[in-house]
Amino acid sequence: FGDLFEEFFKRRGPGGPNGQNGQPDLPRQRKSQSAGSGFVIDASGLVVTNNHVIGDANEITVIFNDGQRLKAEVLGKDAKVDLALLRVKPEKPLKAVKFGDSDKVRIGDWVVAIGNPFALGGSVSTGILSARNRNIEQGPYDNYLQTDAAINKGNSGGPLFNMAGEVIGINTAILSPSGGSVGIGFAVPSTLAATVIDQLKEFGETRRGWLGVRIQSVDDATAEALNLGTARGALVAGVDDKGPAKPAGLEVGDVIVKFDGKSVKESRDLPRIVAATPVGKDVPVVVLRKGKELTKTVKLGRLED
């Protein structure tokens, strides 16, 4: 609300809607600030946060628990998964945390969220893991962990820990009619985040695999028509003439049920699996075509923005 009130009073000016003594305000530069959270993953000074926390900021300051303030540079950021990697230059090694395996967490497990809600400073909240693999329609790779630990404005970019002190998620969003925590928070799972962060560290950008197909979901009626038994996989609705799938022999009507050894349970699984696969890798793709199971080998391309 701070920005809204500031904008309101700036428009009105000290003398009414038009400024001092009713005269129009002169254009003036506006400086705005925002606060978020982050965590150190390397003692040399690598810091992870959300992309939306830093946005297009021209100056970023990282404030540590001991009061130390360090200027940060952006090594890379990824808007699709909403992550950013920063570097600071400390005088002595920092305390760092490690990523855990978010694929191993179970619904009901205890979790701890640490962050900077409403710019109050370091704050801890606890809860349980409420759900996995949530799609909140924020991007093509939605696969959020859901928790009832209190997460509010300013918590974005902070770590979600398991009871072993490992980061299993990065707190990113909440669902809230009121604007505050109502016990429905979402975190980017560590298995997805670690892959993106490794690429930001190495390349300064995210390099995603590209298959070159247009897909749609498989419902019960489609599964019955294609003799799939149960609804599963991703139905190929189109093949890009310039994409890797074309020379590999994938066709419209194929149902992709396995990619690089990973099962495709529903259509939205496929883009995430493909994106996380190294560019240029020869990948076995299992498809169902006219009731028969076939395996095609695709040499993945790179997905361009």
> What are the residues whose beta carbons fall under 8 Å from the beta carbon of 304, sequence distance 6 or more?
210
Running DSSP on this structure, what letter comes out for residue 281?
A: -
Active centre residues (catalytic): 52, 82, 156
Q: CA 213, CA 264: separation in Å to the nearest integer?
A: 15
Q: CA 191, CA 77: separation in Å to the nearest integer?
A: 17
Q: CA 28, CA 105: separation in Å to the nearest integer?
A: 51
C-alpha distances in Å from residue 47, one per residue of 43, 149, 194: 9, 23, 13
User: How many CA atoms are closer than 13 Å to the CA of 134, on its beta-carbon side?
Assistant: 22
Q: Among candidates 207, 204, 206, 193, which has minimal Cα distance to 49?
A: 193
Q: CA 128, CA 26: separation in Å to the nearest integer?
A: 52
C-alpha distances in Å from residue 21, one per residue of 5, 14, 16, 25, 30: 21, 8, 7, 10, 22
Q: CA 164, CA 249: separation in Å to the nearest integer?
A: 46
Strands 46-49 and 39-42: antiparallel
